[in-house]
Structure 1
Amino acid sequence: MSTETKPGRRRLRRSVTAAFGIGAIAALVLPAPAQAATGASAANTTRAGSALLGHQDGVCTGGEFCLYQNILATQSFSDFAVNDPNLFDNVYLSPGTGQGTVVANNSRFGRNNDATRSAVICTDVNYTGSCAGFVPNSGGAFNVTYRGNVESLYFS
């Protein structure tokens, strides 16, 4: 647990909230965990010892982080239940404008449908660059830093 004071945490929340549009008031910046820097490892094959929910099935359900093609979350999306260090090998899966387009550097909106894990997006591959997070059950339009500039994501 951090020894940071409450005013310091408020300042952090305000600065991160400013990074996103109106819908991401619950956004939270999180540092990259040590295991994320080395890859997704076992997280790509199981989630808490169970099957992978609907990872990359084109249906945005609980336990997943979804990246949307447009800022209103009304076009095609891609759903992730595990860490992904390189979004250049993923495409938008759901029907709608943008279906089949590469996800990396094309996302404008994110939604964390996981009830327990925070999701973190980063502007470069392998969880590097500028990173910002979404606490469980939150989402919103990306600001100019992340809009069309997300290349990796992980859960913490």
Structure 2
Amino acid sequence: MSDHRPRLRAVREMILGRLVADDQLADLLEQADVDDASDVIVPATVARTWHEDDGAPDPPDVVVHVMVRTDLEEPRNLRTEATFNVQVGFEYRPSVGRRQPTTWPDDVLGAIASVGNDRIEGWYWDGETGGTDPTFDDSINRFVAGKTFEIRRIA
């Protein structure tokens, strides 16, 4: 059985790159006074450090973060199929939400979904498998939402 752990980083970087390159998502984030969308689209570990590490800088007003896990690995015809669970989180301060049109959070989540549902050659995309509407998280003083996608690869 092959080891897919080194590929987790590659999958995460691929998803991050696709989110950063998406013009619609970048425009929506920059509409919220983000200077450069690529600065606020980060791995989930970076976002977690911003919130939990006392020595870390304060997180930006808007953050999109990506986490990838291997859900299942199984042999298939002398090869291994791995299923990856991709979670894309979106968080923003209440003041940002007040300055934007009421549809802005839904528009951002829609842009994330369109990136997450785009297919890439060589991958099997099961598409969006879940998500949450923005809800307020007292512990970080932000609205948080997210989208979940399943993708598979046979190696």
Tell me which structure has the larger Cα radius of gyration.
2
Under a length normalisation based on structure 1, what TM-score does the superposition of the two structures give? Answer: 0.26
Under a length normalisation based on structure 2, what TM-score does the superposition of the two structures give? Answer: 0.27
More helix by share: 2
More strand by share: 2
